[in-house]
Amino acid sequence: MRTVDMSDAAWAPLLAMRDGVAASDDNPAMALYGRIAGARGSFVLAQVGQSLDGRIATAAGDAKDISGPDGLAHLHRCRALVDAVIVGLNTVKADNPRLSVRLVDGPSPVRVVIDCHGGLEGSEGLFHDGGTPVIVIESTAAAERALPNATILRLPLSENGLATAAIVSALADRGLSRLLVEGGSRTIARFIEEGQVDRLHVAISPLIIGAGPSGINLPPIARLADALRPPADVYSLGSDILFDCALSGRQGE
């Protein structure tokens, strides 16, 4: 396990790398974040912050502060290195997130909400906080409407909701090619199921919640032989341990 010891001197070349400046330091921070900052073409990172027992919230829905301080800083670094962050409707409803970069230096990403059937009301915080642009992705079958301070992108329904490949492609058409899928568990699962995730980050914080939703909600399998077993690099972030997993879905596209 390698230890990520982030300093301004290590972070600055990573931020520059997202703008095309080459960097070649051989340290754990570069190994972990250089993959994101240096990605060219469409690149999809999914990240989950979970407890030791794999939960992302209590059964009552309290999801605040599952990650420790270094896990949270990691999430903000990931946000700073991508063009857009994607969440599902339930995450906006449950957490009212700002999805901005506050714990590290760096730009905040464009915010994208998947709202297939038009469940957002327009009163949610991210439409009114003066932050980065908001894109709401709906199905063409949903009733047409406007939302405050947001662009609505309408995509055709596939047999399983909105095809995640179509979402990645529509965002790439708008210059948003490095994507962070931040949750919740259904949204991440759909990107994984459809082979649209390049790297999966699972940050584990040493707390036990006991019950509540899990971080990734895939259809059940009967045999462990059928489980996904991605190659993973393991990092100590400090307060949290990070598994940086290579998912094969989009490799070579």
By CB under 6 A, name the binding residues for ligand NAP: 48-49, 56-57, 61, 63, 66, 87-91, 94-95, 114, 116, 161-162, 164, 182-187, 190, 213, 217
Which of 108/217 has CB closer to ligand NAP? 217
- Who's near 79: CB < 8 A, 6+ residues apart? 85, 99, 100, 101, 106, 108, 109, 180, 182
Which of 10/54 has CB closer to ligand NAP? 54
Q: How far apart are CA 114 and CA 89, in angstroms?
A: 6
Q: Which spans in the chain are helix H?
A: 8-17, 28-37, 69-81, 89-95, 164-173, 185-193
Q: How many CB atoms lie within 10 A of CB 114?
A: 27
Which of 91/100 has CB closer to ligand NAP? 91
Q: What angle do CA 24, 175, 248 make, to 5 degrees?
A: 60
Which of 61/156 has CB closer to ligand NAP? 61
Shortest distance (Å) from residue 9 CB to ligand NAP: 29
Which of 83/138 has CB closer to ligand NAP? 138
Shortest distance (Å) from residue 72 CB to ligand NAP: 10
Shortest distance (Å) from residue 21 CB to ligand NAP: 30
Which of 30/153 has CB closer to ligand NAP? 153
Which of 29/92 has CB closer to ligand NAP? 92
Shortest distance (Å) from residue 68 CB to ligand NAP: 12
Cβ-proximal residue to ligand NAP, closest one? 184
Shortest distance (Å) from residue 200 CB to ligand NAP: 12
CA distances from 9 to 13, 27, 73 (A): 7, 12, 16
Q: How far apart are CA 162 and CA 140, in angstroms?
A: 10
Shortest distance (Å) from residue 138 CB to ligand NAP: 9
User: Taking a C-beta distance cutoff of 8 angstroms, is the pair 89, 184 a contact?
Assistant: no
Shortest distance (Å) from residue 165 CB to ligand NAP: 10
Q: How would you label 62-86 residue by residue, b for 16+ Cβ within 10 Å and e otherwise? A: ebeebbbebbbbbbbbbbbbbbbbb
Q: How far apart are CA 188 and CA 185, in angstroms?
A: 5
Question: Smallest Cα–Cα separation from 234: which of 4, 64, 9, 63?
Answer: 4
